[in-house]
Amino acid sequence: MAQAGRVIAVVIKRRGNAKRLTMRVRDGEIHLTTPPGIDQGDASAFISKHIDWVHEQLRKDDAAMAAADDITGPSIWFHGVVTKVQLVRSPHYTGRSRVDHDDGTITIHMAADSRVRPVVVLEDWLKKQARVAIKSSLDEVLPGLNEAPVPISVRDQKTRWGSCSTTRRLSFNWRLIMAPPACLHYVVVHEAVHLLHHDHSSRVWGKVEEVMPDFSIQQNWLKTHQQALFANIERRLAGLKPVSSPAAPVS
């Protein structure tokens, strides 16, 4: 749909158990959940009725994208810093696509004829970086809680930073690698404490504070920046074009 000169994508999800129309705005798109019997006209009318709210959410979404961004062009958050991203496609590069982080810049290296999307290469690298950092942090925390190693998974949760299942499996959001290391450590501490107390009672927060006295600083940082960190990476990389690649070696 188009509003005020802006094209807004609408994603409709129909659910048999939905009782009413619900709507949210994420990554510049309207996500509409509808119960059975709702046609396109009903959906359009619902959006039109709440269009002022939609524009306000889009404004907040755009502001979150720009929050603390002092870099123009494609960039992502990495270790709590907005970091420039560049793409190098070389006809002389024959290895697997790789990512380097050096001098405050993330560089995606790909063969000139590679059909893999750069965002896929970058996300894969970020997920691997997240797993290494999370495991290292957890290895530091568990002995202090007298807890043995537990299985972990690194996933792409849409709204949560981490969770602890009743089977004692810890799950973490890979986007934690975008946050400052201290914030990642806080989430690890929080979920590890749930191995002792599977609730959010004062016992949990007391133990979290015992392990990490300044946890509230990290907690507040995540709350403030969550929308920016959860933004679609492909949207952040819009306009990413290959830069000049190194010349072929002279033989």
Q: Which residues pair with 84 in a beta bridge?
A: 75, 105
Token match 């001098």: residue? 103
The per-residue pLDDT for 251 is 37
Which ranges of the chain have pLDDT less than 50?
247-251
The reported pLDDT for the residue numbered 248 is: 43
For the chain, the first-to-last Cα distance in angstroms comes to 57
Q: Residue 67: what pLDDT?
A: 54
Domain boundaries, the chain: 2-66, 75-122+236-243, 129-229
- Amino acid 65: pLDDT: 59
Q: What is the pTM of this model?
A: 0.74
Q: Which pLDDT value is given to residue 5?
A: 53
pLDDT of residue 2: 52
CATH homologous superfamily of 129-229 equals: Metalloproteases ("zincins"), catalytic domain (3.30.2010.10)
Q: Provide the strand spans (E) within 70-222.
A: 75-78, 81-90, 98-102, 105-111, 152-155, 162-164, 170-173
Question: What is the H or E stretch that residue 9 is in?
Answer: strand 9-14
pLDDT of residue 93: 79
> E strand or H helix at 226, and its extent?
helix 215-229
Q: Are strands 29-34 and 105-111 parallel, antiparallel or unpaired?
A: unpaired
> What would the two tokens of residue 188 be?
């690890």
